[in-house]
Amino acid sequence: MIETYGDDETVRAILRDAGDTWAVVGLSNNRERAAYGVAALLQRMGKRVVPVHPRAETVLGEKGWASLREIPFPVDVVDVFVRSEAAGAVADDAIAVGARAVWFQLGVIDPEAHRRVREAGLAMVMDRCPAIEYGRMA
């Protein structure tokens, strides 16, 4: 049996109901990276995109932060564009800051992080892309 980490109902719930403030971890001003394109789409869909990157640069008009724990306001969804090996720590930070959901992008896979996030009561999707899912829902 193939393990799935986010059914269509969970995907829809995060995209529609989890909230409008999305921290995008790994987002920089590099327009060639997938994170930039997804963040731009999220903004067009009415989401506030908060860049999280070690350089903490302003991206798409939003002030950046070096880590989730530095953001001084509530974050609803944490969208993760980092290597799978680093994603678990981001998931733990998402739990710690009180996010409502965590989204691991295509190719970002950490079953143990998924388990921890779900046990903490957050919604989670893994190895999917919100840009693709918005297109499927349209």
pLDDT along the chain (138 residues), means of 10: 68 93 97 96 96 96 97 98 97 98 96 96 95 83
CA dist 8 and 23 (Å) reads 22
pTM of the model: 0.94
List Cβ neighbours of 32 (8 Å cut-off, separation of 6 or more): none
How far is Cα 68 from Cα 115, in angstroms, rounded to an integer?
Answer: 20
pLDDT for 24 equals 98
Positive/negative CA dihedral, 104, 106, 108, 112: positive
Element (H, E) at 119: helix 111-119
d(CA 70, CA 134): 29
Query: Is-contact 93 69, C-beta < 8 A?
Result: yes
Per the DSSP assignment, residues forming a β-bridge with 103 are 79, 125
